[in-house]
Structure formats: structure tokens, C-alpha cells
């Protein structure tokens, strides 16, 4: 049975296969920027930008990495710990919060900031990627997506309009247009999904009511230059106050992902923030910033922590290994996080072997701090005009070769 909470029809959609651009006179939502949000670039170094993005819950200094709090919590971490490590932006998941506890309950609890006691900026995704990940458990049509809940097997429905309604109920500062994320290498499907994403983006603009939320449009197009260019032009013509690059880190090579970023950012307006969705290894932050990305998020640091792995700028450490049983060093002697200031590798390995919950917390603190500090260091390197040398230094320590930027 379809959940009656979700709209099943939309009478105000753009018909057919809208793939062109619109000017301000054709698009009644052509400029979504308002008094609640302001983005400015304060320094550049090549294609990289250091910026400031003002939101209703505070200022974001970019580049910035956002820890992921899928179900209104960053796994194993308290909001106070996030603040201590210097996090300024947290992402939560529309799909998961719609299913449990429900966006209307969150509204009754005062909104997502109050519900989870995080009072700095927040971002919610639209649910598009999670629905894409359900594979055979979902059916896409022009109006939206019908899918089977992974929790209880009940049938649910998401449309561009209901995704916006849910995100408005949740109340994050930055919200995402509902998109269709496809296999990035299947050209026919990529083009079909891209065109549908464009039509859904316009419906999201028309559905949005709150002016204290910044709605970002999402660029799709897989690994195909001409489709990425087309999507970047269409989405940037719609007047969104910021833009996201979606459909990457889902099966393509690193070189293909980085090139797609170059293609898109050559077209997106430079005076609006750019968000690379779901990407968050140290090397991806470096390569993304070099190509003009401002915002990143990823579950990787906390997921690795729950699997006994520590991220460092010299590579990963599997702390389950017996070689750490009597190692009195911290995870990273250069790191200033609480875990590295306080505990040894030997103690962390003991927690892992004993299956103590504290292991996940301490490793998550370290892994998140590593990416948050890297983003801060990248920002400072941009301001000081030494980004290339800083990037070379870190990539050398990681033993990962740089992938040169192509001329677009």
C-alpha cells in the first residue's frame, strides 16, 4: 500500500523532455538567493576557492567537510564531540528520517536542529541516492519513485514535491532537489535520468515554500562530457543559490570522477557554492578542492572507524593487527584530536579486540578530525597561495600519485 503521506500526482510539472535552458523571464524561480544566505569567495589559488557561506545557523568557511548524521546522529559521536573537533556542517538523510521517525514527528519536536541538538548549519539530501541504491526494490516513473521500505517492506512514494515537503519539515539550512542517480557508465540511462532530473529540479523550485532554506540543484550526466555540460548549463540557469554534483563515486574511476568535476565547474557560476556529494577520502578532498569544490560529505570516516580502521595522511591503519598490541604511539603523532592526545594504539587495539563500544567512538573522533583538519588546511593553503605545494606534499605522504587537471 502506498503511504498516504506522500503525494502521488503532480499537475504542475513541465511536460515532455525539458533539457534546454531558461532565462529569468521564463523561470519564475530564477533567483532563489535571499537575505538568509550569502556566499562570497575571499581567495583563489588556481581553480580552488576559499569562501564564506552565511546560513541561518552560522557561517561556513569553505572548503568544508560535513560529517554524515544519517539518522539524525553521526554514528558513535555526540554533538558536543563534533563541536570540539571543529565541525561546522552536518548532513542528515531525508530517506531515512522520512521512514523513521518520520518528518512530521521531527517537526513536532521543533525541527532537526532541536531534535538532535546540533545548532550549527545542517544539510539534508533529497533521498534520490538512497532510492537509487535500492535497485530492484524501487520503480521510477515520470512523477516520482515507488519503493519498498528496507525497514518493514511497506511500499512508499517520493516525488519532487514530497521530498521538498519532507526537507522543509526537517528544517535543515541547505536542502537538495530530488534527482535520479544512475549508473554513470550506461549512456542511455544516464541521459534519461539526467533529463528527468532537470524536470524534477524545476518542480522542486515550484514546490519550495520556506525562504530560510537554500535549495541546491544537482548536476547529473554520468561520465559523459556532453551530458555533464548540458546538465550544468540547465541546472545553473534555474537560479539555485548553490549547486551539487551528483552521480559520482558510484562506480567510475577516480580519473573519470575528477574529469567530470572539471567539466561541470568550468560551467557553474563562480559566485555560488559547489558541493560534491558523497565523496570524502583525503585524496578526493585534495583533488576536489584543486578543481573548485567547496563542500564535501561522506560516511567513510565513521564507517572505517566501525571496522577498526584509522585514517591518516600517511595511509590507513588496521588497528586489529597484532603489530599494534604493544604500540605506545598515538594513531598519528602529528594529530591534535582527543584520541591522539590521550590514547595509544595498544589501548585502541585492546578496545577493538574486546569489542568495546568506545573503540568506534575514539576512532570516529580521529577519522573525522583528520578530514575536518585537512579541509581547514586546504583553505589556509588557498589563502596563502601555496595550495599546489601543499597538495603535492600530502599526496606524497599518502603515496598516491596526483591526477593532473585537464585543460577544458
The answer to whether residues 318 and 273 belong to one domain is: no
C-alpha cell at 304: 572505517
CA distances from 180 to 117, 240, 347, 351, 356 (A): 31, 18, 45, 41, 40
pLDDT for residue 27 = 44
pLDDT for residue 134 = 84
Would residue 8 count as lying in a domain?
Answer: no
pTM for the whole thing? 0.91
Find the DSSP H helices in 9-140: 79-84, 94-99, 103-108, 112-116, 128-133
| Residues 222/187, Cβ–Cβ less than 8 Å | yes
The answer to whether residues 278 and 295 belong to one domain is: yes
DSSP string spanning 256-298?
HHHHHHHHHHTTS-TTS-EEETT---HHHHHHHHHTT--EEEE
Would residue 13 count as lying in a domain?
Answer: no
The answer to whether residues 69 and 217 belong to one domain is: yes
pLDDT for residue 348 = 99
| Residues 94/128, Cβ–Cβ less than 8 Å | no
Active-site residue 141, yes or no? Answer: no
| Residues 86/60, Cβ–Cβ less than 8 Å | no
Range of the structural domain that residue 66 is part of = 44-299
- Residue finishing a domain among 299, 317, 334: 299
Backbone angles phi, psi at 346, to 5 degrees: -60, -45
E strand residue ranges, 313-365: 315-318
| Active-site option among 45, 179, 284, 297 | 297
Would residue 55 count as lying in a domain?
Answer: yes
| Residues 120/57, Cβ–Cβ less than 8 Å | yes
- Residue finishing a domain among 299, 323, 352: 299
pLDDT for residue 2 = 34
The answer to whether residues 117 and 175 belong to one domain is: yes
Q: For residue 164, what is the DSSP state?
A: H
E strand residue ranges, 178-336: 214-219, 243-245, 274-276, 295-298, 309-312, 315-318
The answer to whether residues 238 and 374 belong to one domain is: no
pLDDT for residue 26 = 38
Residues (pLDDT < 50) of the chain are: 1-30
pLDDT for residue 390 = 98
Would residue 29 count as lying in a domain?
Answer: no
The answer to whether residues 367 and 242 belong to one domain is: no
The answer to whether residues 328 and 290 belong to one domain is: no
CATH number reported for the structural domain that contains residue 112 in this entry: 3.20.20.105
pLDDT for residue 21 = 40
Strand, helix or coil for residue 58: strand
pLDDT for residue 33 = 54
The answer to whether residues 48 and 138 belong to one domain is: yes
The answer to whether residues 274 and 314 belong to one domain is: no
The answer to whether residues 203 and 288 belong to one domain is: yes
CA distances from 304 to 93, 252, 272, 374 (A): 19, 21, 32, 17
Would residue 325 count as lying in a domain?
Answer: yes
- Residue finishing a domain among 299, 320, 355: 299
Active-site residue 297, yes or no? Answer: yes
| Active-site option among 125, 284, 294, 332 | 125
Total structural domains within the chain: 2
Amino acid at each position: 500500500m502506498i503511504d498516504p503521506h506522500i503525494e502521488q500526482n503532480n499537475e504542475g510539472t513541465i511536460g515532455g523532455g525539458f533539457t534546454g535552458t531558461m532565462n529569468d523571464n521564463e523561470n519564475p524561480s530564477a533567483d532563489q538567493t535571499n537575505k538568509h544566505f550569502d556566499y562570497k569567495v575571499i581567495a583563489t589559488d588556481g581553480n580552488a576557492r576559499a569562501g564564506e557561506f552565511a546560513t541561518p545557523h552560522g557561517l561556513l568557511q569553505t572548503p568544508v567537510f560535513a560529517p554524515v548524521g544519517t539518522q539524525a546522529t553521526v554514528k558513535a559521536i555526540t554533538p558536543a564531540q563534533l563541536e570540539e573537533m571543529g565541525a561546522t556542517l552536518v548532513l542528515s538523510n531525508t530517506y531515512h528520517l522520512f521512514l523513521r521517525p518520520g518528518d512530521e514527528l521531527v517537526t513536532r519536536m521543533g525541527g532537526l536542529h532541536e531534535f538532535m541538538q546540533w545548532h550549527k548549519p545542517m544539510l539534508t539530501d533529497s533521498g534520490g541516492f538512497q532510492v537509487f541504491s535500492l535497485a530492484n526494490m524501487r520503480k521510477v516513473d515520470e512523477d516520482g519513485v515507488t519503493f519498498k521500505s528496507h525497514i518493514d517492506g511497506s511500499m512508499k512514494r517520493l516525488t519532487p514535491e514530497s521530498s521538498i515537503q519532507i526537507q522543509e519539515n526537517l528544517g535543515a539550512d541547505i536542502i537538495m532537489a530530488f534527482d535520479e542517480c544512475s549508473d554513470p557508465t550506461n549512456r542511455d540511462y544516464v541521459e534519461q535520468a539526467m533529463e528527468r532530473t532537470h524536470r524534477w529540479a524545476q518542480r522542486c523550485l515550484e514546490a519550495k515554500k520556506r525562504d530560510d532554506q537554500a535549495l541546491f540543484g544537482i548536476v547529473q550526466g554520468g561520465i559523459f562530457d556532453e551530458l555533464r555540460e548540458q546538465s550544468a548549463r540547465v541546472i545553473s540557469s534555474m537560479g539555485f543559490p548553490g549547486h551539487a554534483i551528483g552521480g559520482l563515486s558510484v562506480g567510475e574511476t577516480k580519473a573519470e570522477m575528477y574529469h567530470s568535476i572539471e567539466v561541470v565547474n568550468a560551467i557553474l557560476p563562480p559566485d555560488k557554492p559547489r558541493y560534491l556529494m558523497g565523496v570524502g577520502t583525503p585524496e578526493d578532498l585534495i583533488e576536489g578542492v584543486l578543481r573548485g569544490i567547496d563542500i564535501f560529505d561522506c560516511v567513510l570516516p565513521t564507517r572505517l572507524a566501525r571496522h577498526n580502521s584509522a585514517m591518516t595522511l600517511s595511509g590507513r591503519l588496521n588497528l586489529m593487527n597484532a603489530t599494534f598490541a604493544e604500540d605506545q604511539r598515538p594513531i598519528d603523532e602529528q594529530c591534535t584530536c582527543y584520541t591522539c592526545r590521550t590514547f595509544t594504539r595498544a589501548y585502541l587495539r585492546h578496545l577493538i579486540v574486546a569489542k568495546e563500544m568506545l573503540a568506534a567512538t575514539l576512532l570516529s573522533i580521529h577519522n573525522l578530525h583528520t578530514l575536518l583538519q585537512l579541509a581547514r588546511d586546504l583553505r589556509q593553503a588557498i589563502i596563502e597561495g601555496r595550495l599546489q605545494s601543499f597538495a603535492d606534499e600530502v599526496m606524497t605522504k599518502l603515496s598516491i600519485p596526483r591526477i593532473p587537471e585537464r585543460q577544458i
